[in-house]
Amino acid sequence: MNKIETDVLIIGAGSGGLSVAAGASQMGAKVVLLEGHKMGGDCLNFGCVPSKALIATGKAAYGQQHAAQYGVADAPGDVDYAAAKDHVADVIAQIAPVDSQERFEGFGVHVIREYGRFISENEVQAGDAVIKARRIVIATGSSPLVPPIPGLEDVPYETNETLFDLRDKPEHLLIIGGGPIGMEMAQAHVRMGCKVTVIEGEKALGKDDPELAEVVLQTVRDEGVVIEEDALAAQVSGTAGAIKVEAKDGRVFKGSHLLMAVGRKSNTDKLDLEKARIKPSKTGIKVDDQLRTTNKKVYAIGDVAGGLQFTHVAGYHAGVIIRSMLFGLPSKAKTSHIPWATYTDPELAQVGLTEAQAKKKHGPALEVVRFHYNHNDRAIAERKTKGLIKVMVVKGRPVGASIVGYQAGELINLWALALANRMKMGQIAAMVAPYPTIGEINKRAAGAYFGPRLFESALVKRVVGFVQRYIP
């Protein structure tokens, strides 16, 4: 048995684990990194990267089919599905070196390509190695949740871990789950020439502002996706190419392929947590606000910590624990400033409180300002006028922003900055945005907040009148 001692042991080489490994090793800590599957984790290999690459294929096809509005002849936009998957694989391959074993070994990280499991409070076994560490970071991420629907075990189905290896274009893709993953893949596939039916047990995009979510859902419906809500899957049957999903209320949906997109589950099964006195939670591993587990030598970050499951959250968590682990400084994780985006067309993005959440928390102190894309000159020039921004403001400070429309995932960055730094609307209004840009939408939203205060104020008008009459 090979025995290793280290300062920091990281279990999992996804976004969070790699961020900790890079930071800790370059700042002088001795680091061991374990990965039993693929470097880069879910985001690089099965999630964010391949899904956005496939969405790009769908956008290209859709753009050819709807070019006449720009004075260019429409074209069929036929998609070679296997070639599209080659495009996805090439995108992954271009990014992979950034997450590679070789790169991290170049930082001085000792990379072991094995799964790790606890054998004591500060020891982990990985293959024939036993690693004893002063601090341990669990960054094992999450996997597709496959619910125990009767019959599913006998029917072929895809998850995000298998979908991007599929080479033959589905004739009719059934998607169980109408969240961000389900809706992104639904639109991408209908644009690539597939029939698509989304089967959602409650409301599609139910975690987002319903007014803004409806803009996305109606667009996706208009493009040909059938969205069946309040359709809880109760039975699955059939064989490859002929699959049937029956809902609890008796509705029946038939298709050639099935994609499960109902959520994620934290990867804890291989860890033997009890041997390290680490308590699980309902959604992953129990952590405090410093991301420490019930074993104070062990941290859990990213999806496995059981909170918001986004790649950028794992990266944020890495920064939080590096401050604590390496420098002994107090550092707490917050969620109020964490944005997220759904990369449909139009995009849907959120940071902080939604309108409903803000009303519940702040009551009559809340002001909601709105600005529509169809008043933005660049959006008009690009024919991207569908959408709006809503900013929730309390006593001059934004407490949340919701955006649906072109580049919403980019626009939300400014509001994430504002919430993280407790900025005021006046600071947003003071920004000068180049003309014409989509980014002007953010400044115009701030203008919508101050407009009534300036243009409808009797006091302002009296001051202006006085200056004009008496000040030379």
Q: pLDDT in tens for each of the 472 residues of the chain?
A: 799 999 999 999 999 999 999 999 999 999 999 999 999 999 999 999 999 999 999 999 999 999 999 999 999 999 999 999 999 999 999 999 999 999 999 999 999 999 999 999 999 999 999 999 999 999 999 999 999 999 999 999 999 999 999 999 999 999 999 999 999 999 999 999 999 999 999 999 999 999 999 999 999 999 999 999 999 999 999 999 999 999 999 999 999 999 999 999 999 999 999 999 999 999 999 999 999 999 999 999 999 999 889 999 999 999 999 999 999 888 999 999 999 999 999 999 999 999 999 999 999 999 999 999 999 999 999 999 999 999 999 999 999 999 999 999 999 999 999 999 999 999 999 999 999 999 999 999 999 988 776 666 677 677 777 778 888 7
Nearest to 410 by CA among 348, 325, 334, 322: 348
CA dist., res. 221 & res. 188, Å (int): 13
Helix (H) or strand (E) holding 266: strand 264-266
| The pLDDT of residue 238 | 96
| The pLDDT of residue 471 | 85
Nearest to 281 by CA among 138, 418, 385: 138
102 is in an annotated binding site: no
| SS3 of residue 169 by DSSP | coil
Cβ–Cβ < 8 Å for 268, 280: yes
177 is in an annotated binding site: yes
315 is in an annotated binding site: no
206 is in an annotated binding site: no
352 is in an annotated binding site: no
| The pLDDT of residue 467 | 79
Tokens 């947003």 belong to: 428
142 is in an annotated binding site: yes
Give the contacts of 453 (CB within 8 A, at least 6 positions apart): 460
Helix (H) or strand (E) holding 356: helix 355-362
| The pLDDT of residue 454 | 61
DSSP label at residue 342: E
Cβ–Cβ < 8 Å for 11, 139: yes
250 is in an annotated binding site: no
DSSP label at residue 285: B
CA dist., res. 405 & res. 186, Å (int): 18
Could you tell me how many helices (H) and strands (E) the chain has, helices first? Answer: 14, 21
303 is in an annotated binding site: yes
426 is in an annotated binding site: no
Give the contacts of 218 (CB within 8 A, at least 6 positions apart): none
> Strands of 366-372's sheet, edge to edge?
339-342, 347-352, 397-405, 388-394, 366-372
**Domains of the chain (ranges plus CATH)?**
2-39+100-142+265-327 (3.50.50.60), 152-262 (3.50.50.60), 339-455 (3.30.390.30)
184 is in an annotated binding site: yes
52 is in an annotated binding site: yes
Helix (H) or strand (E) holding 462: helix 458-470
Radius of gyration (Cα) for the chain, nearest Å? 25
| The pLDDT of residue 422 | 96
